[in-house]
Amino acid sequence: MSRNDTAESNPGMVDIERVGEIVVLTIDHAPINALNLTVRSRLLSLIEQVDDYPEVRAIILQSRGRHFVAGADIREFDLPPQAPLLNDVLKAVEGCSKPVIAAMQGSVLGGGFELALACHYRLAAHNAMFGMPEIRLGLLPGSGGTQRLPRLIGLAKSLEIMLSGEPIDCETARSLGVVDRVTPSGNLSADALNFAHELVASGAVPPRIREQSVPGPSLDPAFVAEQRSKAARRHPGVASVDFIIECVEAAATLPFEAGLALGRLRFEECRNSSGSKALRYLFFAERHKNSKETARSVESVGVLGAGTMGSGIAVSLSLAGLRVTLADTNAEALAAGMQRVRSTIEASVAKGRIDRSTGNAAIARVVGGSRIDDLAMADFIIEAVFENLAVKEQVFRNLGEVCKTGAILASNTSTLDIDAIAAASGRAQDVVGMHFFSPANIMRLVEIVRGEETATEVIATVLALTKRMGKLGVVVGNCFGFVGNRMLYAYGRENQLLMLEGATPSQIDAAMQGFGMAMGPNAVGDLAGLDVGYRVRRERKDLPDDPRYYRVADLLVENGRLGQKTRAGAFDYAEGARRPERSSAVEEMIAAEASRLGVTRRIISDDEVVKRCVFALINEGANILAAEIAQSPADIDTIWCNGYGFPRYRGGPMCYADTLGLRDVVREIQALAFAHGDRYWKVSPLLLDLAERGGSFRQM
């Protein structure tokens, strides 16, 4: 390195610049400055070189772009560890004989937070956010975070940060002692240089967190139990919870090197676990997919239908900064919908999710309309009326006549034929499906249904709009139920048949929750309303010629048991309660119907319940892929983990099939066909082909 003030540009993603007695190292690895192998190698080499120069008195470590370092390169976690490990880099940084200042902005997460802790001083911009989100990937901080952070801020707060996976803001970090100084001028680079000169002038000796003792008391068992319980609710099925607790406790009981080794050991155990692999797979599956097409401009949106779904959609749009006209021809429904918009946003303010000014602005952006004509000048219209094809076709005829040229017309339908709806509009190229999930203002998932004539820029616009709303848009093809609900019918079919054959609703739900589903299928049906599916089945012309098919659900509706709204569905519900209670009347009703249909009843194991429900999902998912209704197995898994409560630590139905091995999956489906006939158990040709070739869904 030159003794003079020089700047060196390099292909190693870390730049070095000399400013008198100060060296500035700048990580430049867009977009999040992830600590991949190249960055680690270059950073280690430069730290070791600079430490040997006596004329260099201090080092600033900063990053280019919006973020300091938002973590490791997650793609490397599927590969064998490659030296230098991040631990090696951090030991060199912390062991440096010259003061090292971390100058941080934006995200300081995971390995980035661990890197900051290895530095001797931490200067932060006001927008800096600090966190250790590894638990979301079934991991733990594996490069000293479990040892350094407790030595800095104590055991309890460290455990909270790691088990929640949530970031803390700059002011909180400063109050905890994570940040030494918040940039006084707002110019992070200039303030970092001033800070460095101050340290040099004072002759500061680099303080090392590893040499400190853990401050404060030991962990209270009741506090640990509470944090473990919270983490289990936030991150169900994640095995790293107990490892995080173990390693944080070790910071107070083991020497630093021993604690560091324990953390690395536990990290590797987690990294190689099926749960973490599934969560990492979902991390990439759920990344927003940008379209190469240019999206149309959208500033104003109309929502037609002011019911629960329509008002929820309006809330999401208004919070995204869009002007919204919520229209309904029924005056009472419109008034109720507008009130629901206001109360929903007010509730978010009361809970601290948004501030008062943001809430007031969002409420003001929603106006009511009593006629379809009120939507005439909207850039984008989302229809959210009754789930009936004839009704929606008439609505789209009207929209096609009223709305301005170039406006996008979207139908919030969960099952209906988008091409039929599009044809009714007279402008099929502008029509698309948007299947929101309830409650629409909370659920992230939106199935974006591509019709035969839907223009590519319309798909691009919907993808951009869902991203703006903070939602996860997945493009799917057009068929009954699209991806999610088509698979749901296969899953539900087995639930229905199992009840006729002898399993109770309670047993089935308990077995599926034991597998990891957020709710059992019967509780889900009661929550959604059994009459919804009943009406859909009445309209379908393609139902199997099987008197057992969804007979239990139909029977419940025909006896006035519609679910929670009538306090009676597959389960009973006490007044004002949502907790399902076993119903002997329902079980007797099912047994009598099975007898009438000639179904032999027997004792059914929980294992059979899970196999039949899950393998029905996998097989139908393979058929959907073969028909190109889903673009990839990852899209199916994204839909089922975000819309239907499939356990994230299993990665989704198709990922789970890969975990089991496709040859074993085929054998299980063939065994089910032998036991129950091949009406519903014909192995998907795609699944069979992949299994015979030793392939997997992930390789598609």
pLDDT at 4 over 60: no
Of 478, 491, 505, give the one whose Cα is nearest residue 421.
478
Whether residue 233 contacts residue 227, with contact meaning beta carbons closer than 8 Å, is answered with no
Cα(608)–Cα(615) distance, integer angstroms: 10
pLDDT tier at 312 (50, 70, 90 boundaries)? very high
Q: What is the pLDDT of residue 11?
A: 52
Give pLDDT tens digits for 636-645: 999 999 999 9
pLDDT at 289 over 80: no
**Mean pLDDT confidence for 79-84:** 94
Structure tokens at 2: 């030159």
Q: Categorize the per-residue pLDDT at 7 as very low, low, confident or very high, splitting at 50, 70 and 90.
A: very low
State which H helix or E strand residue 584 sits in. helix 584-597
Cis peptide before 633 (omega within 30 of 0): no
Mean pLDDT of 120-145: 98
Instruction: Judge contact between 8 and 15, C-beta under 8 A.
Output: yes
Is a pLDDT exceeding 90 seen at residue 444? Answer: yes
Can you give the pLDDT at residue 629?
98
Burial of 362-391, coded b for 16+ CB within 10 Å and e otherwise, reads bbebbebbeebebbbebbbbbbbbebeeee
Q: Kindly indicate the confidence band of residue 2, based on its pLDDT and cuts at 50, 70 and 90.
A: very low
Cα–Cα separations (whole angstroms), residue 442 to 348, 400, 488: 11, 30, 21
**pLDDT in the model for residue 539:** 86
pLDDT at residue 53, rounded to an integer: 92
pLDDT at res. 440: 95
Q: How far apart are CA 50 and CA 1, in angstroms?
A: 8
Judge whether residue 5 has pLDDT over 50: no
Q: What percent of the chain has pLDDT over 90?
A: 95
pLDDT at 10 over 50: no
End-to-end C-alpha distance for the chain, whole angstroms:
48
- The 10s digit of each residue's pLDDT in 216-226 is 999 999 999 99
Q: With 0-12 CB in 10 A as exposed, 13-18 as middle and 19+ as buried, what is 36?
A: middle
Mean of pLDDT over the chain:
95
How far, rounded to the nearest angstrom, does the alpha carbon of residue 492 sit from its chain's CA centroid? 24
How far CA 56 is from CA of 52, 78, 84, 207, 242, in Å, comes to 9, 39, 24, 18, 44
Just list the catalytic residues: 114, 134
Burial class (CB in 10 A: 0-12, 13-18, 19+), 626: middle
Assess whether pLDDT exceeds 80 at residue 178.
yes
Q: Which domains does the chain have, with CATH numbers?
A: 7-272 (3.90.226.10), 300-476 (3.40.50.720), 484-692 (1.10.1040.50)
- At 541 the pLDDT is 87
> pLDDT (tens digit, 9 = 90+) per residue, 473-532?
999 999 999 999 999 999 999 999 999 999 999 999 999 999 999 999 999 999 999 999
Give the strands of the sheet with 121-124, arranged side by side: 7-8, 14-19, 22-27, 58-63, 100-104, 121-124, 181-182
Condensed to tens digits (0 to 9), the pLDDT of residues 553-612 reads 999 999 999 999 999 999 999 998 999 999 999 999 999 999 999 999 999 999 999 999
If phi > 0 it is left, if psi is from -120 to 50 it is alpha, else beta; for residue 560 that is left
H/E/C letters for each residue in 80-107? CCCCCCHHHHHHHHHHCCCCEEEEECCE
**Helix (H) / strand (E) containing 418:** helix 418-425
- pLDDT of 290 strictly over 80: no
Instruction: Give pLDDT, residue 3.
Output: 35
The answer, yes or no, to whether residue 265 has pLDDT greater than 70, is yes
Question: 155-164 vs 221-234: helix axis angle to the nearest 10?
Answer: 10
Dist. CA 115–CA 133, nearest whole Å: 15
**pLDDT tens profile 150-161:** 999 999 999 999
Read off the pLDDT of residues 341-396 as tens digits, 9 standing for 90 and up. Answer: 999 999 999 999 999 999 999 999 999 999 999 999 999 999 999 999 999 999 99
Q: Please confirm whether the linkage preceding 647 is cis (ω < 30° from 0).
A: no
CA dihedral (467, 468, 470, 471) positive or negative: negative
CB contact at 8 A, 621 and 653: yes
Contact 409, 383 (CB under 8 A): yes
